[in-house]
Amino acid sequence: MKRIMLFLMTNIAIMFVLSITLRLLGVDSILAENGSDLNIQALVILSGVIGFGGSFISLLMSKWMAKRMTGAVVITNPSSNIEKWLISTVEKQAKIVGIKMPEVAIFPSPAMNAFATGASKNNSLMAVSQGLLDSMSQGEVEAVVGHEMSHIANGDMVTLTLIQGVVNTFVVFLSRVVGHIVDRVILKNNQGHGIGYFVTVIVAQIVLSILASTIVMYFSRKREFVADTGGADLAGHQNMINALKRLGQVEPEALPEQMAAFGINDKGGIMALFSSHPPIEDRIEALEKRAGMRP
């Protein structure tokens, strides 16, 4: 809750400074002279509601969405030795990191992958693919589980949701300001919102969203290094390194876009700036340096 309040207050402060900056630059005066009825204060509030509203709704629905999109089945009564071992491993790690036992699920994919999601660290879901259980040793699976448990314990789901909310707010706000400028100043439309406004807002929102995604992905990549460290602490550096090497040997099957940032691995984007995960080689190198295996 403290983290949510901090991000909200930070966002409000940034948007307040941005609105003041626009006034100092004379943007509101220019718009007023051209017949614009833009209310910057109201737009700031609207942008915050839209920007954070969607992000928080996605967060609250994240476990339900994850189960639906991946076909993950929560283990309620372990029916095999591997399921019993998996439950026991998650339970042990949950106690170590100090969180409530998350729901544990297996999703039917031959690829090696895993993810964690949930509205909070004490209301979470940790899932692994059947392919990961079939292909990795127990030590490697334990490291992957530790990686996902670190995401949960560090509150990464909430953190990335808040970052997404902040950038969404900016996208909504700036796209509408640009729309007003084009509609009123350039196209000289003084009667309501013309087609120029709506087209500009749509185009600006698409462009700004693409640029904003690089910010979210940057923070996502940083959190992966931290989660790798957590997995190494819980299962041993060598197990974590071996798990990453195993993941690096095959082309990963991407998780649904909404969950990609919380997986153990993901397909990189066309450019590194749009990838939710750092290159496997960089992650291995970071762990080896931490363990003293490299200078």
Helix runs in 61-155, H state only: 62-70, 81-97, 130-135, 138-153
DSSP one-letter string for 154-199 = TTHHHHHHHHHHHHHHHHHHHHHHHHHIIIIIIS---SS--HHHHH
Distance from the first to the final alpha carbon of the chain: 40
- The residue with tokens 């966002």 is 11
Distances from the Cα of 211 to the Cα of 54, 204, 205, 273, 276, angstroms: 19, 11, 10, 10, 14
Helices (H) and strands (E) in the chain, counts: 11, 4
Determine which one of 140, 142, 148, 224 is catalytic: 148
CB atoms within 10 A of CB 84: 12
Quick check: is 148 catalytic?
Answer: yes
- Is 104 in a helix, a strand, or coil? strand
* Beta bridge partner(s), residue 106: 73, 128
Which tokens in the block code for residue 208?
């700004």
The residues carrying an active-site annotation are 148
